[in-house]
Chain A
Amino acid sequence: MIPKVKEAEGAVMRITLPRDFAKIRAVSGRVRRFLLKHRCSEQTRADIELALVEACNNAIQHAPSEGAPQPVIVEVWIGRTEIELRVIDHGPGFSWPGEIELPDPEKETGRGLYLIRRVMDSVRYERGAGKNALVLRRKRRRTLANGC
């Protein structure tokens, strides 16, 4: 069981994303407006959008092709100093690589997880029976030392 984010301590948004790449844009737009409403900076909004889009791409890509299509659940929690993103899918999941390196520059794929790791402060992948959650956290104010 994946614990729910604590609503009492901040603002929470929960969105259901159908398994369709074309629907990601509307979800990321809603999350951006939610972040703006809670006075997150332009850099924070850009970083969260990138991590969210990459996490949704991943969840849709790894969804099982058989059986009834299960949507992806996106949860955003905005606290006083931190933001947490949860992207939950009901597929078989994938093994999270121990080290995430950039691929050869000529390669067309393999940059998604790297980008997530670079723009967020912590990344956790909880793989469960029939349910997986990618839990991403980022401080509202990041210093240059964090890499951005």
Chain B
Amino acid sequence: MKVERVGDTVRVSAIARLAAADAKGFRESVMEQMRDGGKNIAIDLSQTTFIDSSGLGALVALRKAAIGQQGALRLLNPQPPVQQILELTRLDALFEIVNPGRT
């Protein structure tokens, strides 16, 4: 997993899985960058093959943190297995999901 801050946006990429064992570290490393001046969060899900309820919980918490800084959270390129779970839990309606590769 890669976490970097570009201006006021915290970008997270190369996330293989977002399950209970990964969710806490994921959330903490993004929050650390938010404390250092982050406002928006962009999470690249193009390499994420699995997400569970703990991973979804971490995304919901980070969205709240971004909104608290008057920023926004975006999910980029979720692949079908992850998109399906976002839809099953109706979180596809909560999150701003961006698919630049698709029209």
Contact = CB atoms under 8 A, between A and B. Distances in A.
Contact residue range for chain B? Answer: 20 to 34
Interface stretch (B4-12, B36-44, B50-58, B68-76): B50-58
A22 B23 CA distance: 11
A102 B20 CA distance: 19
Interface stretch (A1-9, A105-113, A129-137): A105-113
Interface stretch (A33-41, A48-56, A76-84): A48-56
Q: Is the interface of A mostly helix, strand, loop or mixed?
A: helix
A115 B93 contact: no
A62 interface: no
A94 B46 CA distance: 36
Given A54-B52, A111-B53, A112-B53, A118 B19 contact: no
Interface string A71-107: 0000000000000000000000000000000100111
21 contacts: A21-B19, A25-B17, A25-B19, A49-B50, A50-B50, A53-B19, A53-B50, A53-B52, A57-B19, A57-B20, A57-B54, A102-B90, A105-B91, A106-B64, A108-B57, A108-B60, A112-B53, A114-B89, A115-B52, A115-B85, A115-B88
4 closest cross-chain pairs (CB), A and B: A108-B57, A111-B53, A112-B53, A21-B21
